Amino acid sequence: MENTTLKQFTEMTSSKDPIPGGGGVSALVGSLAAALGEMVTNLTIGKKKYLEYTFELTDIRKELDLLRSSLLGCINKDAQAFEPLAEAYSLPKDTPGYEEKMEECLKTAASSPLLILKYACRVIDLDERLAVIGSKFSVSDAATSVMLAHGVLYGAYVNILVNTRLMKDEAYADQMNKEAVGLLDEYSVKALNIYDDICKRLTD
């Protein structure tokens, strides 16, 4: 699915087919956020004013390149996790092993958006630094990147909740929810602060 064109992807998303859904779209947006951050590094590296940050920017670029690729990969991971869950939903509840199968599918389906959430948090971390050492001519791209990642946090989070709420293993569900909400609380504030700081610099 990650190799489809943007036109195909949006058409697939708009259809009645549940794949790609919120998780896959969140992964795509996260990949675009990482790509914008990576662009900031490429527009900064080699410029005289920022030579002292060359090694740091190179490391950030490598990590963002990996995040971009990993988030694209999450589009397929999310789709692959949903398929067995959809199949489980279609089974009669008196099917032997129904509850065990459903529980396993729910845990797998929730793990993909949690990974997307964690990747988005890391993009925000890197954007925070790029807002400081990135070229001033590309700071708006860093701001756009961080707000795309901010949206991903919420898209991923709700796709975790939609699965954990049905889990019979309440301890597992609570642990996953606690981890997710902790990241959401921390990084939603961080992303907004980065964005606001950049906007202030542009309006001063």
Per-domain boundaries in the chain: 21-87+98-203
Neighbouring residues of 172: CB distance < 8 A, sequence distance ≥ 6: 107
Task: Identify the pLDDT of residue 131.
Answer: 96
Task: Identify the pLDDT of residue 97.
Answer: 79
Is the per-residue pLDDT at 121 higher than 80? yes
Task: Identify the pLDDT of residue 32.
Answer: 98
Task: Identify the pLDDT of residue 192.
Answer: 98
Q: How confident is the prediction for the chain on average, in pLDDT?
A: 93
Of all residues in the chain, the percent with pLDDT exceeding 90 is: 77
Task: Identify the pLDDT of residue 2.
Answer: 60
When pLDDT is averaged across residues 56-75 and rounded to a whole number, the result is 97
Is the per-residue pLDDT at 183 higher than 80? yes
Q: Give pairs for 60-64: CB < 8 Å, separation 24+.
A: 60/126, 60/129, 60/130, 63/122, 63/126, 64/34, 64/35, 64/37, 64/38, 64/123, 64/126
Q: Which of the pair, 188 or 202, is modelled with greater confidence?
A: 188
What is the DSSP code (8-state) at residue 17?
Answer: S
Report domain 21-87+98-203's class.
mainly alpha
Q: Of the spans 14-23, 77-86, 103-112, 144-153, which averages the highest pLDDT?
A: 144-153
Is the per-residue pLDDT at 156 higher than 90? yes
